[in-house]
Amino acid sequence: MVIANRLSQLKIQQVVLTPAVLLLSAMSTLALAEVAKGPKRAAADWGASWEAQYASNIAGETSPGFLSRVGVVRKSGAGFQVLPLEQKDADQHSFMTVPAERDLNLARFANKVVLQNPEDKPKSNPCEVSHQSIAICLGLDALLDVSNPKWKLLKFDKLKKSVELLLEAPGASDEDYFKWIHRQLNYDGVVIDVEGDYLLVLLPPGRAGDEIQALTLKDSADKIFLPTSTVKGTSLLQLIQRSGRFAVFLPVITSAEAAKSFVKGSKLIIEKGK
């Protein structure tokens, strides 16, 4: 999507091409596209389109370095039961989206089993037979299995193969699944795009007010969990614009190590501002 947009800005249809220079052209086009971005746009102009573009690209995809869409399941018979979740509950503690009852109904409907012989025994819905099938049907990149006393958090790759991230029992203060997840992650938000000095960030919409500051965390881009002992702030960010779970920040105080934190996947914690 990003590439297509930038190509259209460059009006490549007016360029005369030959197969011999295709590869070279492709590479140079990308370089030109970077240049063609031109002077910095006002935050108000690109905040909304940035958000929409991200929302469009992220659907069903995996997000390296962080979890973006999570479901909660419990063992039920030979398969699993996907627990109905309310986005507003997740929004208190997490920037992740969750499948609502409506998404579940749609997945079940689209994947219902049609029997060739109507007298055969009805089969269970194939969406709910395994962790992988649940992740595919609901477009999840993470799954919390609460079947056992120790909850299991799984992450899925592009092929929807799962990697077990964590196996830990909920603590006494973990009122709900998202509070538990938040406690494990140990951060509030994640940088999902960078343009010039501006950072597009995902935040828990239920927690972040309109006047907040945030702290980027050192060496956090490729880590899903941040142990408390390793958390170290690198720069203080000032909120520029907010829309739901998306926010645009601008660094106001930076350290020498800050540049490494201005990359996709970097984590941050909310600091109450002003």
Q: Residues interacting with another protein, by CB under 8 A? A: 3, 7, 12-13, 15-19, 22-23, 25-26, 29, 51-53, 55-56, 59-61, 102-103, 105-107, 109-111, 114-116, 118-119, 126-127, 133, 136-139, 158-160
Q: Which is nearer to another protein, 118 or 171 (CB)?
A: 118
Residue whose CB is less far from another protein, 91 or 188: 91
Smaller CB distance to another protein: residue 49 or 148? 49
Where b means 16+ CB within 10 Å and e means fewer, 211-243 reads ebbbbbbbbbbebbebeeeebebbbbbebebbe
**Shortest approach of another protein to residue 269 CB, angstroms?**
28
d(CA 177, CA 20): 56
The token duo for 9 is 């800005």
Q: State in angstroms the smallest separation of the CB of 42 from another protein.
A: 20
* Residue (126 or 170) nearer to another protein, CB: 126
Strands 70-76 and 142-145: parallel
Which residue number, 11 or 272, has a Cβ lying nearer to another protein?
11
Shortest Cβ distance from residue 273 to another protein (Å)? 27
Q: Least distance (Å) from another protein to the CB of residue 90?
A: 16
Q: 15 or 256: whose CB is closer to another protein? A: 15
Q: What is the Cα–Cα distance from 228 to 266, expressed in whole angstroms? A: 16
- Smallest distance, Å, CB 102 to another protein? 6
The structure tokens listed for 65 are: 């370095």
Q: How far is CA 2 from CA 54, 155, 181, in A?
A: 10, 26, 31
CB 203 within 8 A of CB 95: yes
Burial-class residue 273 by CB neighbours within 10 Å (0-12, 13-18, 19+).
Answer: middle
Q: How far apart are CA 262 and CA 176, in angstroms?
A: 32
Least Å from the CB of residue 136 to another protein: 5
